[in-house]
């Protein structure tokens, strides 16, 4: 018999994998489909996107400009179950390939995405997501000075 928690964990991990795949293929439509119709996402710059349509619309421009060569790598996923049909998911990530609007390369970034993923009928969807960029939080030059 299959353990229900294992099945649920696998389903939630699949949402994270699909999110990375949509992001890496720069496909705003596939990315938005991972959210509830009334889902919300706050990006690393603090921009709040409300609803699937706005999430799609506000990813279209960066996916064709500053993020068109960017690659998202998932470093760690931690799932905390809130109820049997909802989970808080911490996703530690790194990205490479960012560029300025003038197409100059930018350094790699790292951060944390917190997602609330819920089961609705037969599918798991992101209800709320927040992404934080910790790249500039600490610099090597901040350490070793008396």
pLDDT (tens digit, 0 to 9) for every residue of the chain, 146 residues total? 345 555 689 999 999 999 999 999 999 999 999 999 999 999 999 999 999 999 999 999 999 999 999 999 999 999 999 999 999 999 999 999 999 888 888 899 999 999 999 999 999 999 999 999 998 765 555 545 54
pTM of the model as a whole: 0.88
pLDDT at 100: 87
pLDDT at 4: 55
Q: Structural domains in the chain?
A: 4-135 (3.10.450.50)
Q: How many CB atoms lie within 10 A of CB 86?
A: 15
Q: Is 23 exposed, middle or buried (0-12, 13-18, 19+ CB in 10 A)?
A: buried
């Amino acid at each position: 018999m299959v353990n229900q928690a294992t099945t649920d964990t696998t389903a939630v991990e699949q949402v994270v994998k699909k999110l990375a795949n949509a992001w890496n293929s720069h496909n705003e439509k596939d990315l938005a489909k991972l959210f509830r119709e009334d889902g919300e996402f706050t990006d690393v710059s603090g921009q709040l996107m409300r609803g699937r349509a706005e999430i799609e619309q506000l990813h279209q421009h960066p996916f064709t400009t500053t993020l068109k060569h960017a690659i998202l790598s998932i470093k760690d996923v931690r799932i905390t179950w809130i109820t049997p049909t909802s989970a808080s998911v911490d996703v530690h990530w790194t990205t490479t390939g960012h560029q300025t609007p003038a197409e100059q390369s930018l350094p790699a970034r790292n951060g944390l995405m917190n997602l609330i993923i819920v089961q609705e009928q037969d599918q798991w969807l992101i209800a709320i997501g927040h992404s934080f960029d910790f790249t500039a939080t600490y610099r090597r030059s901040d350490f070793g000075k008396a």
